[in-house]
Structure 1
């Protein structure tokens, strides 16, 4: 795209955004290739599938890992298509809570957008938190390769988490203009890393190779204690964690970058829909070498840290150096992922503050042009909340682990809401969407909503039974807690100041909305 065409595209995008009720504040720096790479960054398969691998081993092993991954990917494609359709018509950083406001009836749209906005923001915070903490736990696993006797304390893990958070913050705040380049580096690192890992595992296989019947069909639910059928779905939690928390559910987080993308009505739907098949294929290619060379499951599950990735790579490679080399690839992907989720979470916070839905909204909706139009205050708020939530780990690792489930539940519910509202209105608002699902739209939307409902229930269940205070899943408790806080703030403040996202007719008829539109 030459400079003249770029200027024309920017002008069209700016006019379209103003018709949606917002003034252009962010600098549009992301082209099609960049945002597609950004989508790939969110779908960091190697990181998302290996960091919680213990749960898949508990739930049933190889059969769960490969077939669960394929099942989850197919069902999540319906969600991606549904979101892409709505996003093509309403491409704004406000995302799903804006969509709820536009799609719901005048009687319910204010409350719907408030609930959805808080689901989106809390989901962004908890996704970012879980990614950074998983990266910190990877550091512990990497150290365990050479210092197997070291058992990291909760405080030590928390301090590593703070280090990961600081590094991500430096890049997201001071190198914002370089983020498209960082996305390209991340995509190259991920692609080459998966090739290197797969080749090394198949070449060495120090603990032996398994036949296809084991790699594709071995299923042992005895570790979980659940019935075989439910154990299979419990075993898919890492796939769901990756698909929902790290990747495909986080496809909605791509929409938070809408006001930094050229021609968002065309580019964002492509990024959202293609992230699923690209991630699915990559996941299959990454999982198969692991399943054909998998060490003894009992040995992996006995790792004291609960993170067996370092031990697994070391056993397969037959040396600590080899295991550490493969671990370092995964760690690098985790750091890239931390930067991406930090960026998206801060944008969601900024967009909601812009619409006066967050305490001290004037401060948190400011943009710092000297740093490349970075919402520094919103980023600081998002980071501060995560640092405080991380303290929960010092008291109870079981309670803290619920935050990954909360991220899935929040994002899933926030994505399902506008789809469900559109369905109940017979999809009348979608007939002129640039990316249109046509006659298949009703079926695709219905499957997406039912899938999210099932996932929400699944993430409320413990991985093993009988349940103890250490194995208890506190996701539903934490999810409900955030709901109570959101409702309380609405009663205290929201009902007096929140008027919903500005839309074109609001910006001409209401001074309050006009202020928001021209913030």
Structure 2
């Protein structure tokens, strides 16, 4: 018994919402001197499998690279400007950002309590009402995976389109074919898969460089556009009037102005969706239950402020919205630049945007691989899970998960041959799937959790429930909005249909049927993969003890219970 004394510790002593029963004690006879991060992870039911070579700033670097404000904005300009015009880009961004930051803050609080790469999937399982944990994890996990696996393809399609648009600007006779776009986008996917397969330290360095580059290019472009616009040479004022920028709502949809503004939020939501990356990188981050939630909020706040500045610059300098949307150049951001800049300036800004987008795609590939690994670790992918969850012995990274996602991502690129509306579904599915997976554990936390949540060292205090409730309401409002087509009646055809409800709803309907037919019999939610005293020495198991008032939790968690699955 004495050999266990120095390392006996109840999960009640660790400020996390654990999958383990009160009193169950993490234990590894071959690794007696756990770090604080390893202890937290073990209390959540997992052994450490990655090197913790990320800190706050390197984690932020990855998430900000995934956010990729400049390339994200450039790729989604069609929705932000095309649905509601400059009004949707200016005050519409601010309105949307309030909801997005509520989601980010609530997610950060959950991350502090459960810092695992499974992220929202794990949280949904642990917080769900008794008996519903596996199903909550199942639908949350699959929706989040759909968002993650379509992120890199949509980003790379955007930068491939911009690359070919640059060619069209220099050679007006050139018009990129779908085949050329597909091949260039697939090439970017393969390059990013190689870059995401290297050791963690290399990834941290690459993404630190990518994040710095993203910030620098964004600032440079924010200066270049207003300073280099040639609007006055065209006989118009250097900037649009305030009344036009803030008050005119472009009639880009068949709905009332308010609905059009809400529909334009797809650009904000997709652009800002990368702030969940620190959650998925938590097992590679030191001091994860503090650094990871801080990185989530820092990403959201930084992205929100700089993104709004970019919206303002474009809103004040755009010449003709119709011309942007209908240009033969084939890429709205490139068409916008061509309206108000010289050709050299256009090519310079497009080059910076493409470079920033390249690192954004690589960051998205990394985040997606960690999500896929976490789900495969719990056998979400059925028989394929054994292959996907393997960690490469040389790099200590989930290389198989990287390449699995790359193959699936390239498969989604065949939507290119279905036209712009079809491939555009990658953006809307990313926004919808991400928001659904973000909101599920937040909604459970706000309305169903009771006393089963132990907040971590980073929390929202008395504002926790109100912020979570507002975040949930915002997402519930946006889910149907994101599925609306821009036209109705006789104008609604297969070419103008919003295919989001099909591209997201189809796979989600399939996995739901899969659940009731098969998965509910074998999928039990997050799996414990560490040894515990309860599994080794019953005489060495301590009873769980109630938490005191300084333990950092909302309520004392139940003690004395023992369960092995949710």
- Fold shared per TM-score above 0.5: yes
Q: How far 1:281 moved relative to its partner?
A: 1.3
1:17-36 deviations in whole A, cap 9, x for unaligned?
11111111111110122112
Question: What is the distance in 2 between the residues matched to 1:239 and 1:141?
Answer: 23
Which deviates further from its counterpart, 100-109 or 53-62?
53-62
- Are the aligned partners of 1:21 and 1:507 in contact in 2 as well (CA < 8 Å)? no
When residues 266 and 215 of structure 1 are mapped into structure 2, their CA distance, relative to the original with a 3 A threshold, is farther
2:13 aligned partner = none
CA contact (8 A) 2:329 2:335 kept: no
In structure 2, do the counterparts of structure 1 residues 83 and 15 end up closer, same or farther at CA, with 3 Å as the change threshold? same
Superposed CA offset, 1:212-248 (max 9, x none): 41563242433433322222222332222212xxxxx
Q: Deviations over 1:138-196 (max 9, x none)?
A: 22222222122322221111111111101211211136432222222222212221222
Report the RMSD for the aligned CA atoms in angstroms: 2.5
Distance in 1 between residues matched to 2:190 and 2:33, nearest whole Å: 36
> Is 2:366 aligned against 1:343?
yes
After superposition, give the CA deviation of every residue in 1:72-124 in whole Å (9 maximum; x if it has no partner).
Answer: 11211110111111110110011111111211233111111112111121221
Equivalent residues in 2 for 1:28-177, closer than 5 Å: 28-174=52-198, 176-177=200-201
Partner residue of 2:380 out of 333, 357, 365: 357
Pair 230,363 (structure 1): closer, same or farther in 2 beyond 3 Å:
same
Deviation of the 1:461 alpha carbon: 0.8
Contact kept in structure 2, 1:10 and 1:263, CA below 8 Å: no
Q: Displacement of 1:422 after TM fit? A: 1.7
Q: Which residue of 2 aligns with 1:229?
A: 258
2:279 aligns with 255
Q: Secondary structure at the match of 1:429?
A: coil
Instruction: Measure the CA separation in 2 of the matches of 1:191 and 1:290.
Output: 17
**Is the deviation greater in 109-118 or in 338-347?**
109-118
What is the rounded CA distance, in whole Å, between the counterparts of 2:159 and 2:388 in structure 1? Answer: 27
1:5 is matched with: none
Structure having the higher helix fraction is 1
The aligned counterpart of 1:434 is 457
CA–CA distance in structure 2, aligned partners of residues 495 and 430 of structure 1 = 25
User: What's the counterpart of residue 474 of structure 1?
Assistant: 499
Q: Separation in 1 of the partners of 2:78 and 2:284?
A: 38
The offset of 1:481, in angstroms, is 1.1
TM-score, normalised on structure 2?
0.83
SS at match of 2:297: helix
Partners in 1 of 2:360 and 2:268 — Cα distance?
16
Q: Which runs of 5+ in 1 are unaligned?
A: 1-7, 244-248, 512-516
TM-score (norm 1): 0.90
CA deviations on 1:258-297 (whole Å, 9 max, x unpaired) are 1100010000110111212211111122232222222222
Residue 508 of structure 1 and its aligned partner are, at CA, apart by 6.6
SS for the counterpart of 2:452 is helix
Alignment of 1:208-287 (within 5 A): 208=232, 209-214=238-243, 216-243=245-272, 249-287=273-311
- Between the aligned partners of 2:535 and 2:140, the Cα distance in structure 1 is 23
Partner of 1:368: 392
Q: Which residue of 2 aligns with 1:450?
A: 473
C-alpha separation in 2, matches of 1:169 and 1:500: 28
Which is further off, 110-119 or 78-87? 110-119
Of the candidates 159, 184, 203, which is equivalent to residue 179 of structure 1? 203
Counterpart CA distance in 2 for 1:504 and 1:153 is 49
Change (3 A) 1:11 1:345: same
Corresponding pairs, count: 499
Gaps in structure 2 of 5+ consecutive residues? 1-31, 233-237, 537-563
Given the superposition, is the C-alpha separation of residues 295 and 363 from structure 1 closer, same or farther in structure 2, using an over 3 Å criterion?
A: same
